[in-house]
A and B are shown apart, each in its own frame.
Chain A
Amino acid sequence: MSKLTYNEIHEDILRPLRPAGPIYYAIAAILACGATWGILAWTYQTRMGLGVTGLHVPICWSPYITNFVFWIGIGHAGTLISAILFLVRSRWRTAIARSSEAMTVFAVLVAAMFPLIHLGRLWVFYYIIPYPSQRQLWPNFISPLVWDVCAVGTYMTVSIIFWLVGLIPDAAASRDNIAQLGGISSFRTRLYRIMSLGWTGSSTQWHHYGRAYLFFAALATPLVISVHSIVSWDFAMANLPGWHTTIFAPYFVAGAIHSGLAMVLVLMIPMRRLFNLQRLVTIDHFEAVAKTMIVTTLIVGYAYVLEPFIAWYSGDVFEKQFAWYRSTGWFAVYYWSLTVFNVIAPLVFLFRAARRNIKMLFVVGILVNIGMWLERFVIITGSLSHDFMPHNWTMYIPRLPEISITIGQFCLFLFMFLLFAKYLPTVAISDEKELSAGLLYAPEPAVFISKKQEVKIGSKESGLLAVFNSQGPLMESINKIRENGFNRLEAFSPFRLDEVNALLHPRKSPVRIWTLTGAILGCVGGFWLAIGSAYVNELYTGGKFTPATYIPYCIVGFEGLILIGALSNLAGMLFHARLGQIKLPAGYDRRFTRDRFGLFIACSPEQISNAKTLLLSFNPEEINVIQ
């Protein structure tokens, strides 16, 4: 946990936003070149056709779908850290949550490119979007590929929203910081002003924001599990040796979190050094990641043991021969490498010395990422190259286009992450300050009273605005002032103060009604879309009259629930927290996003003297008369 002052936290996190040095530009240039090379290769492939790659029948899914699955998996750790650990009130998540969320967003964006790359003729991409039946196209909601579109689309939307919503208070802090350094009309100030949506840090905003963020986390948690499960069902629904197994869904989810956590180590270790974040992102955080990786290692190892065991137990000749082939044939070197990288290497984290050794953490992170990529490659390519019919058995040798695109995607991902690290706060400022809350409780007695003209703090009322240098006097003053008949109060703080919210907003935020309504409508809408399409198209799939079943349509209903629930949650938060106003109130004080706390008391000019007397007993730094 950070033991820094609010101001130190503020400075440490926002310092990287200042102009970059030559090392940063050099790295960015190399990555940009790599990404450009990948894009050129994609352009070449699009022009010439997929024949220029090593793909051939029956290996039609190889590196591109491997990359797709790999990047979707990488995204999972971000949601684990930001949503799941938020729900279980794990404190170590704070320092790495924001970067992990960014990693999720960039990973999903990169992943979303691969179905298009794999499509070859990317101008017909709209064929994969489930839209109402027309032009002889019948969207079939029993197809795992359509589930994929629903799931990845929902995941991308919700991840981006979740990340941007989490950034609102930090964007406001950046806005106020950069405005002081670079002026209010600079590009960055404008960018942060748009991203912060008029955030002032008022208790009303924190009240609705806190509730909405909780619901985002609650919606993102099952979503993240569903997404990789659905990706795994792209394979598990096919009757192919090595693919059709019931354990695939949890196995893929555990593997995804495993690789995502490894990527967190790979990204955060250099970033921490490059941007001097050692005081905030400590070895304790990496140790916590390493400990979590032990859990995922054991789950992945459990699946690795059970897969060949059940292949043998089933007595199925095809499954048995494939399990044997995978471990002794052409793929053996990859198979055993991935086993060592994913299961054996991370077990060094059982030792505390390894968990606290930066080099070891970084190396194991790299190995696990290689191992997880290989795992997807072996699953996808292995099964396709060795199916039921021996005359179909073949190999896959990659060619320059797919090698270039694969290298390019890594460069693109790292480039986007580098841009993020330079332009946006990499650590959640408000959360870090919340963690440090209570360390500062030393009000300075210097009080001066000033008059500000034409000031409006969220309302058009006159009153007093007291500025405190810690949250303690703010909370104490609220009770006292309310006892004396002043009931129209508004507090301002750089982070969420639950006690203040409880005092000023005793009623639950109505955002929950928005979310629940949206979730129910989304679920019903998802079922309606899937069942309705099936009835219209009268599809019989796999010998089953699909409209009559509910089993596969649960996926569409679930994704609808999450998507519409999250969008409603966002709408409810924006509406009730009055966010979306780019222009700030005229009397807004920039210090409220840094390290100061404010209390606005709405009162008539005759009551000002009485309110001022009450406030003085709490030693505010300033009292401003608002007229």
Chain B
Amino acid sequence: MSSSDKKSRGIVFWLGIIFILCVSGWLYLIFYGDSDKAWRALLINFVFFTPLASGMIVWPAVVTASQGIWAKPLQRTAFAAIYFAPVSIAAFIALWIGHSHWAGWATHPNLLQGFWLYYKFVFLRDIIALVLIWALCAAYVARARRGAPGKLAGWLCFAYGVVFTLIAFDMVMALDPHWFSTLFGGYFFVSGMYAALAAWTVLSILSGTTTVEHRHDLGKLTVAVSLLTAYMMYSQLLPIWYENLPAEVRFVIPRMTISQWRYISAVLTATIFLGPLVLLVTRWSKRSPVFLTAVSMLMLVCLWIERWWEVTPTLGGKLTFGLTEASITAAFVAAFLLSVIIFTNRQKTAISG
């Protein structure tokens, strides 16, 4: 066994330990702490990591569908996210089990949406959608590794948009059943792709598979996707702000005016929406591995905060980050890294075999 294999196994071991400890800690808080907060933290991480991980597989599909070839050397790093599928589905099943702690609509008797928000229907359709997107991701990975993705690339991109629109409506927008925004699904899946791109960039650079040109392309793509995400947010905000209708501003007011969440809104504007435009404006910044990694890491952290900011004020949560959030977030990070490392190791073994 080579020294790199030993090192890799060591990392896997310690990540496994972190994962088990963090999940145990979270379970302890479920039973003996603030269980609502713990379930909320699970929801936040589910809606952050699932679009991120599946989006990492969708990015090479986007490049393939648009007849690009630049991303081929980086594909394998992106495909590693496929091993995150069981974690994502398990987290969703856990959310189903604990729905009474976080999904107010599940126990609400007289909702306008009637059968649409009947909890069994919600979870059933969402788990079908989730299995569908992961199955398509797996099929795409298998085909792309054989070098023949075919039309599946286009269908995967479309399915990603549809599935995460549904997840956004059911898991986030429905937290307040009286609030609605037609664009929320679009914003959700675009910001999921943004997180996926940031993760792909970081992992590609750390795995040493990028060239200067790759980093330049990834940097430009980051700027473009950040602006697209900002556009989607602004396109929602402006009509809501303008009309000032009670049914619509109930999402905006807690986040922009009356609570401490408004500071988070300002931070998000400065980082995920406008940050890359300023930070990655020069050629050097896009080409430097250290700087690009740092910017992408910053975006990842802020995009996690953005999901926190989407969920918590609606559920009446306060702006506090404690052990509850830290434990389950660390568990998700460990699980994600474990998926990536195990996939990469298996690939190496297959190639050497």
Contacts and interface: CB of A to CB of B under 8 A. Distances in A.
Chain B contact residues: helix, strand, loop or mixed: helix
A368 B162 CA distance: 23
A313 B113 CA distance: 6
B210 interface: no
A313 B180 CA distance: 8
Contacts of B238: 233, 237, 551-552
Given A222-B227, A246-B240, A554-B234, A302 B183 contact: no
A11 B183 CA distance: 50
Nearest to B151: A350
Given A225-B231, A237-B239, A247 B183 contact: yes
B243 A237 contact: yes
A51 interface: no
Interface in B98-152: 112-113, 116
Contact of A246 (B154, B162, B183, B244): B183
B182 A306 contact: yes
Given A229-B235, A236-B239, A247 B245 contact: no
A314 B67 CA distance: 40
Contact of B180 (A237, A250, A310, A554): A310
Nearest to B190: A250
Contacts of A247: 182-183, 186, 235
A535 to B, nearest CB: 20
B209 interface: no
A525 to B, nearest CB: 19
Interface in A396-445: none
B241 A543 contact: no
Interface in A293-316: 294, 298, 302-303, 306-307, 310, 313-316
Contact of B239 (A248, A250, A543): A248
B8 interface: no
B267 interface: no
Q: Which of B67, B245, B247 has the most CB of A within 10 A?
A: B67
A280 to B, nearest CB: 20
Given A294-B154, A313-B113, A552-B238, A302 B161 contact: yes
A229 B162 CA distance: 22
Contact of B235 (A88, A90, A239, A249): A249
Contacts of B242: 237, 542, 552
Interface band, chain B: 35 or more
A135 B169 CA distance: 50
Nearest to A85: B66
Given A239-B245, A302-B161, A244 B180 contact: no
A250 B232 contact: yes
B136 to A, nearest CB: 15
Contacts of B232: 250
A233 B182 contact: no
Contacts of A88: 66, 68
B14 interface: no
Contacts of A239: 243, 245
Interface band, chain A: 20 to 34
Given A250-B232, A313-B116, A314-B180, A233 B239 contact: yes
A249 B184 CA distance: 13
A552 B113 CA distance: 32
Interface in B297-341: none
Interface string B207-248: 000000000000000000001000110111111111111010
A544 interface: yes
A624 interface: no
A294 B66 CA distance: 12
Contacts of A237: 238-239, 242-243
Contacts of A294: 154
A229 to B, nearest CB: 6
Contacts of A315: 112-113
Contacts of B161: 302
A36 interface: no
B291 interface: no
B28 interface: no
Contacts of A552: 238, 241-242
Interface string A520-557: 00000000000000000000001110000101101000
Nearest to B117: A313
Interface of A: 88, 90, 222, 225, 229, 233, 236-237, 239, 244-250, 294, 298, 302-303, 306-307, 310, 313-316, 542-544, 549, 551-552, 554
Interface of B: 66-68, 112-113, 116, 154, 158, 161-162, 165, 169, 180-186, 227, 231-232, 234-245, 247
Given A229-B231, A246-B236, A310-B181, 6 more contacts: A222-B227, A250-B232, A314-B247, A544-B244, A551-B241, A552-B238
25 contacts: A237-B238, A237-B242, A237-B243, A244-B239, A245-B239, A246-B184, A246-B239, A246-B240, A247-B235, A248-B235, A249-B231, A250-B231, A302-B161, A302-B165, A302-B186, A303-B182, A306-B182, A307-B182, A310-B181, A313-B169, A313-B180, A314-B112, A544-B244, A552-B241, A554-B234
Ranked nearest first, the 4 interchain pairs of A and B with the lowest CB-CB distance are A315-B112, A247-B182, A249-B235, A246-B183
